[in-house]
Amino acid sequence: MAESLVSEGKIILKKCEGRTLKSGGSWVFDNEIEREEGHFENGDIVNVLDFDGFFMGYGFINRFSKIRVRMLSRYRKEPIDRKFLEDRVRDAWIYRKSVTDTSSCRLIFGEADCLPGLTVDKYEDILVFECLSLGMEKLLDIVMTSLVKVLGEDGIDIRGIYERSEASVRKKEGLKPKKGWYWKKEGEDVPALVSITENGVKYTVDVENGQKTGFFLDQKRNRAYVQELVKHMVKSGQYVRVLDCFTHMGTFALNAALAGASHVTAVDISDIAIKEARKNAETNGLADKVDFVEADVFEDLPARINNNESYDIVILDPPAFTKSREATKKALNGYREINIRGMKLVRDGGFLVTCSCSHFMTQPLFEKMVREASHGARKRLRQVLFSTQAPDHPILVNRDENSYYLKFYIFQVYTEK
């Protein structure tokens, strides 16, 4: 019989507490716990019981964190052992194979894959992960070994695994930042730069120094929507000029250029991002179709309005302006400002692509902001498309564990008459 990974520890909830957990959530907060029993250490897997002793499931415990327990399983009869974790990894991989191109994709998405606090991205034959929970950190060797094994069963030979566990939220778990090669295949010289192809566009991903795990895979399908929009416009005989704001690696800009846009202007404040975007454009033979501009979008948009510029498509894909509920009001002003100016730059009958990747900028709040921005810009909007993150970033229904965060819209913009 396989060795159980569950400790002797027990967590007993207060009466009438654990409502989120009972409605399908994955977290137990510190103020919901009546008492602790048995021996355990931070990061161990413990039994979670209701006030009357009813078994609620197994989860990681961490006294350092306000999220005291992160749930792993609801079933007492399901043993928590190495096979359990390998099965979770296999389930995640089967799901990805069912819904997306897996050459480069998100393999593990934390609570949405019942592996709390762990994110793993696959870039061809390289894996990059971020671990934000102490409990999962204790099980990393098992999970990473399982990933290499499960992918190997499909003929995918993983050459290296890179760790990017640098987020400040690790402090709340009592963890220090970590970065570097976690594992390399013996005898392999594994580079930190990986070539990938998405929607027909080639990119170089820097797993060591790129944003997050190296690339924003969550917008994969939405970039394809922009590519499709441009193709339809070009096919109908339109001259398509595109302004891509917060371009980062040039992803939306290059999708538009590949689709046949007449000209694309891509703006970002980061000189490093602009350099990488230019290299990606050259790799794809699109350097003559895209102008990359290093500038602050908040200053660049008003200047373009003053110059009476107009575009057939304006794309707004900013970084998260808010990472807390407290900062949401200030963030709303930023979103409203760029959307008003973006709308003013869209020609009559053109299109606005606007996004938010902040969990705290909810869909109703974002839609309210768009309505206010359209009023401020004196424009009318016709919604063409609403989308969220790519399906390899699955969304948990009726839960609040940050699995749903990306809002993506395409609007037709026309002047009020």
Indicate which residues carry an active-site annotation.
Answer: 357
CA–CA distance, 305 with 118 (Å, rounded to integer): 43
| Amino acid at site 319 | P
CA–CA distance, 248 with 382 (Å, rounded to integer): 27
Asked if 254 and 235 count as a contact pair (C-beta separation under 8 A), the reply is no
Give the 3-state secondary structure of 60-106.
EECCCCCEEEEEEECCCCCCCCHHHHHHHHHHHHHHHHHHCCCCEEE
First to last CA, the chain: 75
**Distant-in-sequence contacts of 322-328, Cβ < 8 A, 24+ apart:** 322/358, 322/360, 322/361, 323/358, 323/360, 324/360, 325/360, 327/360, 328/360, 328/361, 328/365
Angle formed by the axes of helices 251-258 and 220-235, to 10°?
30
How many C-beta atoms surround the C-beta of residue 303 within 10 A? Answer: 10
Residue found by looking up tokens 């997050």 in the block: 212
Residue 405: C-alpha distances to residues 59, 122, 363, 384, 414 (Å): 24, 21, 9, 20, 28
CA–CA distance, 69 with 43 (Å, rounded to integer): 9
CA–CA distance, 398 with 391 (Å, rounded to integer): 17
How many C-beta atoms surround the C-beta of residue 195 within 10 A? Answer: 13
The count of residues in the chain is: 417
